[in-house]
């Protein structure tokens, strides 16, 4: 069964703010929460569907990718690593707690708070030249991040010791009470939700279980990427807490402006200067491509702004999205000669005297339009 559009699930528009999305999710979660609908499979399905939608739309990066590529961008089946996708690392309970705080219980939140926690995802903006983006590359990048403490192996306790269960919450990280149909849970004030107490902290990480480190990573950029595309490096984000898994690193591509070509999707565009003699008589013109120069035949009586298409001379995007190799579009710009000699000026004046209106069709047509416009203003 195909998934419903996440915006449709929550009943919001694509332009909705984060607060609008939270409000819509809060309304649906209150309506379909299992505590309010015991033994109701349909309500449970709708609650999970709303939670899944909120998890994506309340994350700025995931929402941007979902808006661009749909469900395929956030589907957990995309696997670890590779180009695009998120891997579905979140959970219904996490987004539920983000919106509702400590109001609801019974979803396993207590054990998650006191146990391992996944590390945060990181984002790195990688700026590439157009040639690098088109051909692909393997740059090395340096990432400041948090890694597992080498001394305590992430426990936060001094070597030879271990954290002990909090005596106030019994290692759950929360203390709870019932209020009507709801189970109200509060973060344990003693262990601050961790469920463990470190009596003798590690001297290296000071009880955090993580230390700062700068990592050097090699990133494989596939050919054909464009600004806004992202490559995911699974497990290269911040280290998790209490032995939890590391987050992911998202490398976002930004392509520098080129001094010759302008890129639009898989096609390239460039302006090529053309002298007025070749424009009038025709000739051959060498134009640049990303794979070297090619010869472009210019037909006689070519006007400025005319566009020539070179098939297959654009960008091959088949490795990053649907499509093949684009084209190169060359627009000729007829160049007016400068620094003329007296002899050249005389020749041009003589040429102008020999000319006729038939040889200047655009000029004659334009003046006719101007005359009709001026006459209509007088009426």
For residue 121, the 8-state DSSP code is P
- Write out the residue limits of the CATH 2.60.260.20 domain(s) in the chain: 103-256, 262-378
pLDDT given at position 96: 59
CATH 3.40.50.300 at 262-378, yes or no: no
Q: Helix %, strand %, coil % for the chain, to 5?
A: 30, 25, 45
pLDDT given at position 346: 92
pLDDT given at position 127: 95
pLDDT given at position 78: 37
Q: Which residues have a Cβ under 8 Å from the Cβ of 218 and sit 6 or more positions away?
A: 138, 139, 140
Cα 326 to Cα 306: distance, rounded to the nearest angstrom = 19
- Quick count: other Cβ atoms within 10 Å of Cβ 358? 7
pLDDT given at position 175: 80
pLDDT given at position 369: 77
Question: What six digits make up the tokens of 135?
Answer: 């051909």
- E-strand ranges in 6-121 read 82-83
pLDDT given at position 103: 46
Cα 102 to Cα 185: distance, rounded to the nearest angstrom = 5
Which residue do the tokens 């009586």 mark?
Answer: 301
R_g of the chain, CA atoms, integer Å = 32
Cα 44 to Cα 29: distance, rounded to the nearest angstrom = 10
pLDDT given at position 327: 96
Task: With beta carbons less than 8 A apart as the criterion, state whether 316 and 224 touch.
Answer: yes
- Write out the residue limits of the CATH 1.10.287.110 domain(s) in the chain: 1-101
For residue 78, the 8-state DSSP code is G
Which residue do the tokens 């080498």 mark?
Answer: 150
pLDDT given at position 94: 54
Q: Which is it for strands 267-275 and 328-335: parallel, antiparallel or unpaired?
A: parallel
- Quick count: other Cβ atoms within 10 Å of Cβ 153? 13
- First-last CA distance in the chain: 67
Task: With beta carbons less than 8 A apart as the criterion, state whether 111 and 97 touch.
Answer: no
Which CATH code, of 1.10.3720.10, 2.60.260.20, 3.30.70.3270, 3.40.50.720, is assigned to 103-256? 2.60.260.20
Entry pTM: 0.59
Cα 29 to Cα 52: distance, rounded to the nearest angstrom = 11
Is residue 96 exposed (0-12), middle (13-18) or buried (19+ Cβ within 10 Å)?
buried
Question: What six digits make up the tokens of 328?
Answer: 């190169």
Instruction: Please give the angle made by the CA atoms of 125, 130 and 135, to the nearest 5 degrees.
Output: 100
Q: Which residues have a Cβ under 8 Å from the Cβ of 258 and sit 6 or more positions away?
A: 129, 130
> Tens of pLDDT along the chain (379 residues)?
568 889 999 999 988 898 899 889 888 888 888 778 888 888 888 888 988 888 889 888 888 888 877 777 676 433 334 444 333 444 455 555 565 554 444 444 433 444 567 888 999 999 999 999 999 999 999 999 889 898 988 888 898 898 888 888 888 888 876 665 566 777 888 887 778 888 899 999 988 889 999 999 999 999 999 999 999 999 999 988 877 888 999 999 999 999 999 999 999 999 999 998 999 999 999 999 998 999 999 999 999 999 999 999 999 999 988 889 999 999 999 998 889 999 999 998 888 887 776 666 676 677 677 777 777 777 6
Cα 249 to Cα 236: distance, rounded to the nearest angstrom = 5
CA dihedral over 123, 127, 131, 132, signed as positive or negative: negative
pLDDT given at position 123: 92
Cα 330 to Cα 268: distance, rounded to the nearest angstrom = 9
CATH class of the domain at 1-101: mainly alpha
């Amino acid at each position: 069964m195909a998934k419903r559009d996440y915006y449709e699930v929550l009943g919001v528009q694509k332009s909705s703010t984060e607060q609008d999305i939270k409000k819509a999710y809060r309304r649906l979660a209150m309506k379909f929460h299992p505590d309010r609908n015991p033994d109701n499979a349909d309500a449970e399905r709708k609650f999970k569907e709303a939670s899944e939608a909120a998890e994506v739309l309340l994350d700025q990066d995931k929402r941007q990718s979902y808006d661009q590529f749909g469900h395929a961008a956030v589907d957990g089946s995309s696997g670890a690593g590779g180009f695009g996708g998120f891997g579905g690392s979140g959970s219904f309970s996490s987004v539920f707690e983000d919106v509702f705080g400590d109001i609801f219980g019974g979803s396993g939140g207590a054990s998650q708070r006191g146990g391992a926690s996944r590390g945060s995802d990181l984002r790195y903006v990688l700026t590439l030249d157009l040639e690098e983006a088109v051909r692909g590359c393997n740059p090395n990048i340096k990432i400041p991040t948090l890694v597992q403490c080498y001394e305590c192996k992430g426990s936060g306790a001094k070597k030879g010791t271990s954290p002990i269960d909090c005596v106030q919450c019994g290692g759950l990280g929360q203390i709870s009470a019932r209020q009507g149909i709801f189970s109200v849970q509060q973060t344990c004030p003693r262990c601050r939700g961790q469920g463990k107490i470190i009596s003798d902290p590690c001297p290296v990480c000071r009880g955090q279980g993580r230390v700062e480190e700068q990592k050097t990573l090699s990133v494989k950029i596939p050919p054909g990427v464009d600004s806004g595309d992202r490559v995911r490096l699974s497990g290269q984000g911040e280290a998790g807490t209490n032995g939890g898994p590391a987050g992911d690193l998202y490398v976002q591509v930004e392509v520098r402006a080129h001094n010759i070509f302008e890129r639009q999707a898989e096609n390239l565009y460039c302006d090529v200067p053309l002298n007025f003699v070749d424009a009038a008589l025709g000739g051959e013109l060498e134009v640049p491509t990303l794979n070297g120069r090619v010869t472009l035949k210019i037909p006689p009586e070519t006007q400025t702004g005319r566009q020539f298409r070179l098939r297959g001379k654009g960008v091959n995007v088949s490795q990053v999205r649907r499509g093949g190799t684009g084209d190169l579009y060359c627009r000729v710009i007829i160049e007016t000669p400068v620094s003329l000699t007296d002899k050249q000026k005389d020749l041009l004046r003589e040429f102008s005297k020999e000319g006729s209106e038939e040889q200047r069709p655009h000029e004659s047509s334009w003046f006719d339009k101007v005359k009709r416009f001026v006459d209509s203003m007088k009426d």
